[in-house]
Every structure is written in structure tokens, then in C-alpha cells.
């Protein structure tokens, strides 16, 4: 059960850092639930440090998928150094 995600930007590929993202989660890696919210990272270009983003609700997860809506550099592939699930 998680209440937040901590995303750590990849300083060697900052252009792929998501400014806005959505995520999906699963308990078995087969059936996925899309979280309907769009989440934001604040001022990540000037301050590329780990950021914790509170979810709109609680999610029961074993697996997560992060999908970038927008990245720092337009048309860049998503790039993160790490994702932490916060209970």
C-alpha cells in the first residue's frame, strides 16, 4: 500500500526528466490500473533532486509504470535515476 512516489532525476540525462507524469500500478504485473491523476515535479530543471509526490489516494501495488506527459526537453524519452514507493 503506497501513498506517494519519490522520483530521482537522472543528472546525466536531465532532458528526459518528467515535468508531468501519470502512472499505472499492478499487483501481478498482468492486470494494470491507471491512476486518473496527472502529477507534477516542481522546478526540477533548476533543482534536480529527489522529489516526493503525494498520490490523490492510496494504491495497493507491487509494480508501477511511469508515463511522461511532458519532459524537460521536448520529445525526450523518459529518464529517471530511481523511483521509490512510499508507504
Reported pTM = 0.91
Q: Which three cell numbers stand for residue 54?
A: 503525494
pLDDT given for residue 75 in this prediction:
85
CB distance 83 to 5 below 8 Å: yes
Instruction: Classify burial at 71, counting beta carbons within 10 Å of its beta carbon; exposed 0-12, middle 13-18, buried 19 or more.
Output: buried
Residue 83 near residue 64 (C-beta atoms within 8 A)? yes
Looking at the predicted structure, is the pLDDT value of residue 87 above 90?
Answer: yes
Residues ≥6 apart with Cβ < 8 Å to 4: 52, 53, 54, 55, 86
| Nearest C-alpha neighbor of 17 from the set 37, 42, 38, 35 | 42
pLDDT of residue 37: 96
* pLDDT per residue as tens digits for the range 13-62: 999 999 999 999 999 999 999 999 999 999 999 999 999 999 999 999 99
Q: Strand pairing partners for 44? A: none
Residues in the chain: 87
Amino acid at each position: 500500500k503506497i501513498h506517494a512516489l519519490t522520483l530521482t532525476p537522472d543528472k546525466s540525462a536531465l532532458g528526459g526528466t518528467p515535468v508531468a507524469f501519470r502512472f499505472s500500478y499492478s499487483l501481478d504485473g498482468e492486470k494494470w490500473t491507471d491512476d486518473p491523476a496527472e502529477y507534477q515535479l516542481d522546478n526540477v530543471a533548476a533543482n534536480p533532486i529527489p522529489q516526493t509526490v503525494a498520490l490523490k489516494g492510496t494504491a495497493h501495488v507491487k509494480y508501477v509504470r511511469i508515463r511522461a506527459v511532458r519532459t524537460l526537453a521536448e520529445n525526450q524519452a523518459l529518464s529517471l535515476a530511481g523511483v521509490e514507493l512510499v508507504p
